[in-house]
Structures are given as structure tokens and as C-alpha cells.
């Protein structure tokens, strides 16, 4: 598991299947929360890591008819 190699101890891993609009909504929601935390002076390290993980998540191309 990649996260374990980075020194993070993790339990179960969950995988979401999102279309483009759902992915965009998720990124925007996390970004808005990041801005709120930044304005409040809170530590934003964890949410910044989450934003990067969501943005860099792999995509699976579909073949055939949808």
C-alpha cells in the first residue's frame, strides 16, 4: 500500500466512482472548506493533502457505449 510506504498507518481503503461533475463538486467543496480553515487560522495541512489526492486520483477510461 502506497500510504504505508510513506509512513502513514491506514486501515481500510475506500474507493469512490465519480463522474466529472461529481468530482468537480467534491474538489470545490474541499476547497471551500480549506478557505474557511485558512480564514480561521487553523492548520490546513491535512486538507491540502486531501485536495492533492483528489485532484491527482487516477481516472479509468470507459470503452464502448455509456
Q: For the chain, give every domain's residue range.
A: 17-55
* Model confidence pLDDT, tens digit, residues 3-32: 555 556 667 778 888 888 999 999 999 999
- Look up the pTM and report it: 0.67
* Model confidence pLDDT, tens digit, residues 40-58: 999 999 999 999 999 988 8
For residues 22, 27, 33 and 39, what is the CA-based torsion angle, rounded to 10 degrees? -150
Cα–Cα dist 24/65, whole Å: 23
Q: Give Rg (Cα) of the chain.
A: 15
Amino acid at each position: 500500500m502506497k500510504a504505508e510506504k510513506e509512513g502513514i498507518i491506514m486501515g481500510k481503503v475506500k474507493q469512490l466512482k465519480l463522474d466529472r461533475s461529481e468530482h468537480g463538486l467534491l474538489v470545490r467543496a474541499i476547497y471551500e472548506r480549506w478557505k474557511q480553515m485558512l480564514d480561521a487560522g487553523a492548520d490546513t495541512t491535512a486538507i491540502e493533502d486531501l485536495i492533492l489526492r483528489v485532484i491527482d486520483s487516477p481516472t479509468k477510461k470507459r470503452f464502448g457505449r455509456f
